[in-house]
Chain A
Amino acid sequence: MKTNDLIIQTTTKVVFFIIFLFSIHIFFAGHYTPGGGFVGGLLMSSAIVLLLLAFDLKTVQEMLPINYTILTAIGLLISLATAAGSIFFNVPFFTHVYDYFYIPLLGETSIHTAMFFDTGVYLVVVGVTMTIIQMIGGDE
């Protein structure tokens, strides 16, 4: 179907990872600087959309064999579990905690339960946008 799109395909192969890394960065940076799960997720899906534009639906599905509906569900579950986890420690629903840990390679880092919640948001956003785009794009 796509005949002469060598340039875009080659560019995409490079740009995809740049966008992907930017998305990860903006996700992790969210707690201190602008960004967060929502924007991060949207950027991630725009990277995948770029793939879709350069290649076709089937190829992308082979590259990233992800069922986005299940991804949405997993994201929702992570968020809910983070929020509900506080119940087991006898504190109100949605109480977050954070502390500083020493992690190899990264050194002294703060680990915040809000980040897990944000991970859920990230996954849901990726799942939802990709589901919608795939559904509409796959529709004849």
Chain B
Amino acid sequence: MSLIFAIFTPILIALLIPFLFKRVPKIHTGWFVLIVPVALVSFYATYLPSIMSGSTYIDELPWIPSLGISFISYIDGLSLLFSLLITGIGSLVVLYSIFYLDKKKEKLGNFYVYLLIFMTAMLGVVQSDHLISLYFFWELTSISSFLLIGYWYTRDGSRFGALKSMMITVFGGLMMLGGFLILGILGDTFSIRELIAQTTTLATHDLFVWALVLVLLGAFTKSAQFPFYIWLPDAMEAPTPVSAYLHSATMVKAGLYLVARFTPIFAVSEVWVWLVTGVGIVTLLWGSFFAVKQTDLKAILAFSTVSQLGLIMSLLGIGSIAYHVSGDLVTTYTFATFAAIFHLINHATFKGSLFMIAGIVDHETGTRDIRKLGGLMSLMPVSFTIALIGSLSMAGVPLFNGFLSKEMFLDATLSLQHFNLYAMDTWGILIPIIAWVASVFTFVYSLYFVFHTFRGKYKPEQLPKKAHEAPLGMLVSPGILATLVIVIFFVPNFLGNTFVKPAVVAIQPLTYAVPADVGFTIKAWHGFDSIALYMTLGIFLVGFVLYKLLPKWTAIYQAIPSKLSLNKMYDGLMNFADHGTNRISSLYMTGSIRSYLLYMFAAIIMLLASTLWIKDAFVISFDNLAPIRFFEILISIILVVGTLTILFTKSRLTAIIALGAVGYTVALFFIIFKAPDLALTQLVIETVSVALFLGAFYYLPKLNKHEKGKEDRGFRLGNFIIALGVGVMVTLIAISSHSQKLVPSISQYYKDTVYSEAGGGNIVNVILVDYRGFDTLFEISVLTIASLGIIGMITVRLAKKKGDRKIENK
């Protein structure tokens, strides 16, 4: 129970935050919040030794037992690593936010509640073994990140960024849900562990690839992969602690987690291998290329995050090749998985610290625009040192952990030569080349980030504030992360053994049983025969030259038309969704009842006529027809003449009288067809309604009010066709339904029992009050309602008139 409880701890503590914020205004609320991640990180750390030895933990809380849905917390190497990242970086971010956010100016209660909800959601995502609860937490991360990005909700940019990230990640989340449901139906279980066990049977199913693509859509949108990365740069409107936490270390890695977690299920498919690798490598290049263009500190970091996530994604893709090869090659490719997890940790350290430094620069100078910054090195020496460490690690320079993971990355891309799908003599050669080019750009933007901010000329006149070093408390968190960057370089294998190997076992369960089996060691020096070494040297050389020549070639960014950018496409899509659909609906929602009647009648004709056609139901049978008598012909002729008079008359009075004539003729029909009750009622009702028509007649406008003196309704071909269609259709249906009676009438029963059972003689009346009195009860209710409605309409109108008069009198 303790594992499930640990997931929900942050959200439960979040309930207390508003009280603390209101009741204890003197102490920064962040100090209370800080206890939660610190306690959790020490809680999860206690699991480390046994996870390292290869055991796993599971804990279950039934949620909807009748549907088999429960919260299952499954702790293995992968989920423990992520849990430690979430709570560890979370502690540092909370500490940083205490100094970053002002306790008087900011709504801290909101901030920490959202942050704690987010923490629960992330822990839930990485620990859930049940697909539905995984999806539940997944959407909770989308919602809480939406709230956090829009934290300064009075700014347009924040709201725009929040909405954009929400749209894209929820789109992906819903796609992912589809994938989960397919998986759950195929495997007849929603447990990830049980699905892994039956992966070979799953792969034979037709829908398997669909599930794969849908789940990947969820992962790609969350992890800001190409082309869904566009929300991440706009999410930089969030407070910097949020950017550091969500958009560098945790939430954007949820997609990576998902890919890693589902690798044992999906990696048997080649579609998975090339999708994950391909999208990752494209994202890597795209992100690193556009990072150099940015002028906003956080935007550089956002594109850098996109690019680094692409790097990890492609490594995970290469790692899944291990499922397609055998022998020694298996370890060659699982090395890529090892590299991916290692870089994931490294990225969290240096990107977290860089974001915090960007926040410090923003906080202390008042701007994040790199064109206004410069020369801060001597003013902010500590921040500069930390930024330098982070940037050089990001660039992949020795003495920092980024170097190790970059070398491993290059090695992994080179290892693709052993795999048929990416053989070096085909287009597979592109991957190492792209990786190398992207690394060059990474090198360029890393130098650009740190040196354009801290070196060069100090421009105090452009800065809103006078620059000075940040308070100590704000420097603690980035300082710790920067220290880790260096420490990891010197003792990489400690990290490898403790965190990376158990995670690799979780991703590659077929190859390794326990972490001790994973035989990789991380070396800073590979020897002179390593191709990666020369590639790295090339990166440094070309990167340095490009950096020096930066102003000369940035013009190429202007060459790309802005209309083709993905952001413009997104805006266009949203614009279409907003205005386009509005335009479409205003095309047919004309507001004219005439049009709506036209649609309805046309639809009725089409539906019924096509049904008659498809079912071949039209039958004419002359059996069972009564002989036609003289009176019937006579009355019918009167009826037709009356109806035509209504249609073609030019005066309304004539139409009313003709309508009355039609009504009395119908009464005559009732008489000759032996329905005296109906005839009586029809006569009286017709009289009353004609009288009402005549009463209303005086007040009605002329039939054609547009042309004075000419009371002609005009002729509309469309109306004529529709009217003709309805008439013909009803006639056809009447004829065919009369021609093929399937069941005999039940009226014999009434005839037999009207006296014996109901004690009456008039069948019609007995049916009305006895057999089917229920109908009559509600018919008289209808009459009552109609009369009350008329009272309402007339008295309300009278009251209005009186009110108007009162106003006029004044």
Contacts and interface: CB of A to CB of B under 8 A. Distances in A.
Interface of A: 26, 30-39, 42-43, 46, 69, 72-73, 75-76, 79-80, 83, 93-94, 96, 98, 110, 112, 114, 117-118, 120-121, 124-125, 127-129, 131-132, 135-136, 139
Interface string B763-790: 0111011100110110011011011101
Residue with the greatest number of chain B CB neighbours at <10 A, chosen from A26, A33, A110: A33
B684 A131 contact: no
Nearest to B768: A36
Contacts of A127: 784, 787
B690 to A, nearest CB: 13
Given A39-B677, A121-B769, A112 B759 contact: yes
B688 A124 contact: no
Given A94-B773, A114-B758, A114-B766, A34 B790 contact: no
A36 B784 contact: no
6 contacts: A31-B761, A31-B766, A83-B773, A114-B758, A129-B688, A131-B791
Nearest to A116: B769
Interface string B686-710: 0110001001000000000000000
Contacts of B681: 38-39, 42
Contacts of A73: 784
B769 A118 contact: yes
A66 B215 CA distance: 75
B798 interface: yes
Nearest to B780: A124
Question: What are the nearest 5 A-B pairs in CB distance?
Answer: A32-B761, A34-B676, A98-B759, A36-B765, A128-B787
B769 A114 contact: yes
A46 B788 CA distance: 20
Contacts, number: 121
Given A36-B765, A36-B768, A139 B677 contact: no
B487 interface: no
B758 A96 contact: yes
A80 B776 CA distance: 11
Nearest to A72: B784
A124 B784 contact: yes
B510 interface: no
Interface in B723-768: 758-762, 764-766, 768
B769 A37 contact: yes
Contacts of A128: 783-784, 786-787
Contact of B684 (A43, A75, A114): A43
A99 B460 CA distance: 109
A20 B802 CA distance: 39
A127 to B, nearest CB: 7
Given A72-B784, A73-B784, A127-B784, 4 more contacts: A31-B766, A34-B764, A36-B762, A117-B776
Contact of A34 (B760, B762, B768): B762
Contacts of A93: 774
Contacts of A131: 787, 790-791
Q: Which of B681, B760, B761, B798 has the most CB of A within 10 A?
A: B760
Contact of B761 (A33, A39, A121, A124): A33
B773 A39 contact: no
A32 B784 contact: no
Nearest to B684: A42
B634 interface: no
A72 B770 CA distance: 21
B794 A139 contact: yes
Nearest to A46: B684
Nearest to A31: B760
Contacts of B687: 46
Given A42-B684, A46-B684, A135-B794, A125 B783 contact: yes
Contact of B787 (A38, A72, A98, A117): A72
A79 B787 contact: no
Contacts of A98: 758-759
A93 B770 CA distance: 11
A37 B762 CA distance: 13
Contacts of A132: 692, 786-787, 790
Contacts of A135: 787, 790-791, 794
A30 B762 contact: yes
Contact of A69 (B760, B765, B776, B791): B791
B480 interface: no
A76 B760 contact: no
A2 to B, nearest CB: 18
B306 to A, nearest CB: 70
B776 A121 contact: yes
B465 to A, nearest CB: 76
Contact of A114 (B676, B692, B770, B786): B770
B680 interface: yes
B685 interface: yes
> By CB atoms of chain B within 10 A, which of A46, A69, A83, A114 has the most?
A114
B784 A114 contact: no
A96 B774 CA distance: 12
B159 to A, nearest CB: 54
B760 A32 contact: yes
A47 B695 CA distance: 19
Given A46-B684, A72-B784, A75-B780, A96 B790 contact: no
B761 A79 contact: no
Contacts of A112: 759-760
A136 B781 CA distance: 21
Contacts of A30: 762, 765
Interface string B665-685: 000000000001100110011
Contacts of B695: 136
Nearest to A112: B759
Contacts of B774: 83, 93-94
A112 B506 CA distance: 84
B766 A79 contact: no
A136 B790 contact: yes
A110 B780 CA distance: 25
A126 to B, nearest CB: 11
Given A38-B681, A80-B777, A94-B773, A32 B787 contact: no
A131 to B, nearest CB: 4
B86 to A, nearest CB: 64
A35 B680 contact: yes
A76 to B, nearest CB: 6
Contact of A96 (B761, B770, B791): B770
Contacts of A124: 780, 783-784
